[in-house]
Amino acid sequence: MADTTWHKDIISWREQGRLCISVPFTWLLPKARALVLAHGAERAVAGGPAVQLMPEYVAEWADTAPMTLLQAPLTKYHRDATRTTRGCPMSCAFCGVRRIEGEYQELADWPAGRILCDSNLMACSDKHFARVVESLRGQEAVDLQGIEPRFLTPERLEMLKSLDVKHLRMGWDALGEEAAVWSAVEQIAAAGFPKTAVYIYCLIGFDDTPEDAQYRLGAVVERGYRPFPMRYQPLDALEKNSYVHPAWTHKELDRTCSYYANLRYTQAVPFAEYQHHRPYRKGQLTLA
């Protein structure tokens, strides 16, 4: 059975005698600072997406390193994870990928892995895509992230049919993308992939309203697909879920995320009648 466990916290290890940490999210930076200071007088080396976004925050207690020089390999977050490209050619206002990963580039080589964590896999050239497909041949339960609906083509889906694809993950960030999303979904269905393979990530709380988000999330459910609500986090957020768009309330954001992230348990109750929500619980961590 494929491992589905992701490590979503700070990762630490020693490299060339120095304490190294990788911080995936900016709201973990205060925790990283406390952990490093508690470790003693030793000055750590820090990397990871959060450090790329807020290098000034770590300057007093750690030396920063370029993402390509110091970042915990993806296999430290998931043993089956890899990536074949970096960056994204799009410039979405809510996204930090270009600041974290730089200009879009196709990697010449990459570690074998069944989970592709590319930010925008479909933006790659046909030649690179063919290499990616070949590298995944023989892998079980392939999980493809970075499926940009506007770049998906029937030809590429035909190539993917030769693989054991378990998940195709795409985003629906704004109402204006609806036509592109459903076009991609229809192409996926026509290629023979089951509905259970498709995950549609819906950004909420950025530049929308509760009604907008409810329409998108509800439309995904009505068509028999799996939505996943992604609550917007500012690129300099030092506390998760602290930002609330003027059109929203914290309670409505929390309620929407709770309902649509747990449809297995909540779908028996109409969203309009749903009141219960489960609070976010922070994990525990000790330095290696």
* Annotated domain spans of the chain: 11-64, 78-273
CB 228 within 8 A of CB 89: no
Nearest in space to 87 (alpha carbons), one of 112, 107, 113 = 107
Report the pLDDT value the prediction gives residue 261, as an integer from 0 to 100. Answer: 95
Query: Under CATH, to which class is 78-273 assigned?
Result: alpha beta
Report the pLDDT value the prediction gives residue 278, as an integer from 0 to 100. Answer: 53
Report the pLDDT value the prediction gives residue 129, as an integer from 0 to 100. Answer: 98
Report the pLDDT value the prediction gives residue 72, as an integer from 0 to 100. Answer: 54
Q: What is the pTM of this model?
A: 0.89
Report the pLDDT value the prediction gives residue 70, as an integer from 0 to 100. Answer: 42
Report the pLDDT value the prediction gives residue 155, as an integer from 0 to 100. Answer: 97
Report the pLDDT value the prediction gives residue 13, as an integer from 0 to 100. Answer: 85
pLDDT tens digit at each of 288 positions of the chain: 455 678 889 998 888 888 889 999 999 999 999 999 988 767 888 988 999 999 999 999 999 875 444 445 788 889 899 999 999 999 899 999 999 999 999 999 999 999 999 999 999 999 999 999 999 999 999 999 999 999 999 999 999 999 999 999 999 999 999 999 999 999 999 999 999 999 999 999 999 999 999 999 999 999 999 999 999 999 999 999 999 999 999 999 999 999 999 999 999 999 999 986 554 343 333 344
